[in-house]
Amino acid sequence: MSNVDEYYTEILRFVKQAGSIVREKIYQHKDVLTKSCDVDFVTEWDQKVEKLLIDGISSRYPDHRFIGEESTSSGQKIELTNSPTWIIDPIDGTMNFVHGLPYTCISIALLINKITEIGIVYNPILEQLFTARKGQGAFLNGAPIHVSSEKELRQALVMLEVGTSRDPEKLKIVLQNITLLTSHVHGIRSFGAAALNMCMVALGGVDASFEFGIHAWDVAAGDLIVREAGGVSIDPAGGPFDVMSRRTLCASSMELAQQLSKILIQYYPERD
Ligand code: IPD
Ligand code: CA
C-alpha cells in the first residue's frame, strides 16, 4: 500500500464522520454568523466539521499541512508549500445548509508537491460520494463517471454562481455574463455549491461550470474529479488552472472550455 493509498483510506473515514454531522444538522435550526459580507455565512457546524477533519488527519500524520476555509477566516495564513497539504471546505454550500436545501457537501483535496493526488466531494444528504485519485479515474459511489461529449457552446448547459461577494463591480460582471451567455448556450444553472457544480460536469449532467471569486477550498477537489472524469479545468481566460487564483472554469472538452473563455467578461479577484 502506497502512502497515498493509506491517506485515501484514512480520509474517507473522517469524511464519512463529517458527513454524519452535516446530515444530522441540515434540517435543524442553526445560529448563523457572517464573514466577508451579510450573505457570507458560517455556522458552528462548518467550524466543527473542519476541526474534526484537521484533528483526525493531524493525529495520524502530524507533519501534514492544511488550508481550511474556517481556519483561514479565523486568521490563519494561507500557504501552499510542497508538503502534503489538505485543502478543506468543511461545508461547501453553507447557504444551502443553513436553509435546509440538500445541495451541500464536504470538499477535500490532498496536494503533494503542489500536485493534486486526492479529491473527495461528499453530499451526505443525497448520499453522493465523488472521488478521484490522480491517474485512476473519477467515481460516484464507487462507479466510474465521465464528462459529456459536448464540444459546442451553443448546445451546452452551463453552471455559474453569483457567489457570496456583494462588491458592485463583481456583481456587474456576473450579471453581464449571465445576459451574454443566455443567447449563447442551451441553459444556465446555479445550485449554490461550487464543488458540487464541478462534480456535475464530471458526471456529464452539465457541460461546463465557471466562477470568479471562489477560493482554493471550493475548487481543489473538483478540479481533480473533473480531470479524472475526462474533462478539462482551466483559468477562465484560457490559461492553466491555478488553485490559488480564485478563478475557475471546467468543461467536458477543451474546445468547449476555450469557446466559453473567449466570450466571458473577465474578473480578477485578489488571490488566495
Ligand atoms: C460558496 C459556494 C457558492 C459559491 C461561493 C462559495 P461556501 O462556498 O460554493 O456556490 O458561489 O463562491 O464561496 O461559502 O458555501 O463554502
Ligand atoms: Ca464553506
**Residue 1, pLDDT score:** 79
Q: Does 140 share its domain with 159?
A: no
Q: 148 C-alpha vs ligand 2 centroid, how far in Å?
A: 28
List the domain range (segments joined by +) for residue 175.
Answer: 153-263
Q: pTM here?
A: 0.97
Establish if 269 belongs to a structural domain. no
**Residues designated as active site:** 69, 89, 91-92, 94, 218
Instruction: Calculate ∠ Cα 262-267-270, nearest 5°.
Output: 140
How many percent of the chain have pLDDT more than 90?
93
Q: Does 135 share its domain with 96?
A: yes
Average pLDDT across the chain, whole number:
97
Q: Best of 45, 49, 218, 272 to mutate for ligand 1, by most ligand atoms within 8 A of CB?
A: 218
**Residue 206, pLDDT score:** 98
Q: Does 139 share its domain with 21?
A: yes
Q: Give the ligand with the smallest distance to the CA of 93.
A: 1
**By alpha-carbon position, which residue is closest to atom 16 of ligand 1?**
92
**Residue 200, pLDDT score:** 98
Residue at a domain's end among 127, 144, 161: 144
Locate the ligand 1 atom nearest the alpha carbon of residue 95 and give its number: 15
92 is an annotated ligand-binding site residue? yes
In DSSP notation, 190-255 reads --S-HHHHHHHHHHTSSSEEEEES--HHHHHHHHHHHHHTT-EEE-TTSSB--TTSSEEEEESSHH
Q: How many domains does the chain have?
A: 2
Taking the C-alpha atoms of residue 115 and residue 112, their distance in angstroms, rounded to an integer, is 5
Q: Does 253 share its domain with 119?
A: no
Q: How confident is the model at residue 36 (pLDDT cuts 50, 70, 90)?
A: confident
| Closest C-alpha to 123, from 221, 211, 195 | 195
Ligand 1: residues with CB < 6 A are 69, 89, 92-95, 161, 163-164, 192-194, 211, 213-214, 218
Strand pairing of 232-234 and 208-212? unpaired
**By alpha-carbon position, which residue is closest to atom 2 of ligand 1?**
193
Q: Best of 177, 214, 272 to mutate for ligand 1, by most ligand atoms within 8 A of CB?
A: 214
Q: Which residues pair with 9 in a beta bridge?
A: none
Q: Does 188 share its domain with 138?
A: no
Establish if 270 belongs to a structural domain. no
**Residue 268, pLDDT score:** 97
Q: How confident is the model at residue 73 (pLDDT cuts 50, 70, 90)?
A: confident
**Residue 69, pLDDT score:** 94
**By alpha-carbon position, which residue is closest to atom 4 of ligand 1?**
163
The count of other CB atoms within 10 Å of the CB of residue 270 is: 6
Q: Does 202 share its domain with 112?
A: no
| Closest C-alpha to 246, from 99, 67, 38 | 67
5 is an annotated ligand-binding site residue? no
Q: 75 C-alpha vs ligand 2 centroid, how far in Å?
A: 15
pLDDT digits (tens, 9 = 90+) for 141-182: 999 999 999 999 999 999 999 999 899 999 999 999 999 999
Strand pairing of 138-140 and 157-160? unpaired
**Residue 87, pLDDT score:** 98
- The enclosing domain of 130 has a CATH number of 3.30.540.10
pLDDT digits (tens, 9 = 90+) for 224-253: 999 999 999 999 999 999 999 999 999 999
- Sign of the C-alpha dihedral, residues 197, 19, 110, 6? negative
State yes or no: pLDDT of 40 exceeds 90: no
Q: Give the ligand with the smallest distance to the CA of 215.
A: 1
pLDDT digits (tens, 9 = 90+) for 80-109: 999 999 999 999 999 999 999 999 999 999
